[in-house]
Amino acid sequence: MSKKMAIIGGGPVGLYLSILLAKSGHYVSVFEKGTWPVDKVCGQGIMPSGVELLKTIGIEVNNEESFSFSGVRYIDGDNVIEGRLKRPGLGMDRKVLSSKLHQLALLDSKITLKDQSKVDELSLYDKAVSISTNNNFEVFDYVFICDGLNSTFRRKLDLEVKRKGEHRMGARVHFECEPWCDKVEVYWNNGVEAYVTPVGNHKIEIAFLWFEKSIEKGAYLEERLFNLFPELSNKVKGKTKLNDFKAYGPFNTVSMAMKKGPVFLVGDAYKFLDGITGEGISLGLKAATVIAKNFENFSFIHKLKIGLIYLNYAIWVKLALMLSRNLIFRKIIFKFANKFSSFFDYILIMNDVQWGSKNS
- What does the pLDDT look like over 280-329, one tens digit per residue? 899 999 999 999 999 999 999 999 999 999 999 999 999 999 999 999 99
Average pLDDT, the chain: 94
Mean pLDDT of 227-252: 96
How far is it, in rounded angstroms, from Cα 104 to Cα 124? 30
Q: What is the domain range of residue 222?
A: 45-92+167-250+323-360
Average pLDDT over residues 27-37: 98
Residue 135's pLDDT band, with cuts at 50, 70 and 90, is confident
Average pLDDT of span 179-193: 97
Q: Alpha-carbon distance 150 to 184, whole Å?
A: 27
Of the pLDDT bands very low, low, confident and very high (cuts 50, 70, 90), residue 357 is low
Domain for residue 114, yes or no?
no
pLDDT, residue 43, reads: 86
Q: What is the mean pLDDT of residues 45-66?
A: 93
Please tell me the distance from the alpha carbon of residue 172 to that of residue 44, in angstroms, as a whole number: 10
pLDDT value of position 61: 85
Tell me the angle at which helices 327-339 and 300-325 cross, rounded to the nearest 10 degrees. 100
Average pLDDT over residues 37-53: 93
Q: Is residue 26 part of a domain?
A: no
Residue 78 in domain = yes
Per the document, the length of the chain is 360
Question: What total of structural domains would you count in the chain?
Answer: 1
Strands 4-8 and 142-145: parallel
Model pLDDT for residues 70-124, shown as the tens digit of each residue: 999 999 999 999 999 999 999 999 999 999 999 999 999 999 999 999 999 999 9
188 in Cβ contact with 75 (< 8 Å):
yes
Model confidence at 211: pLDDT above 90 = yes
pLDDT of 356 over the 70 cut: no
Would you say residue 99 lies in a domain?
A: no
- Kindly state the percentage of the chain with pLDDT values over 70: 98
Provide the percentage of residues in the chain whose pLDDT is more than 90: 88
Q: Does residue 288 lie within any of the structural domains?
A: no
Whether 31 is in a domain gets the answer no
Q: Is residue 172 part of a domain?
A: yes
CATH number of the CATH domain containing 350: 3.30.9.100
Residue 343 lies in a domain: yes
- pLDDT confidence of residue 359: 52
Q: How far is CA 328 from CA 190, 298, 324, in A?
A: 11, 45, 10
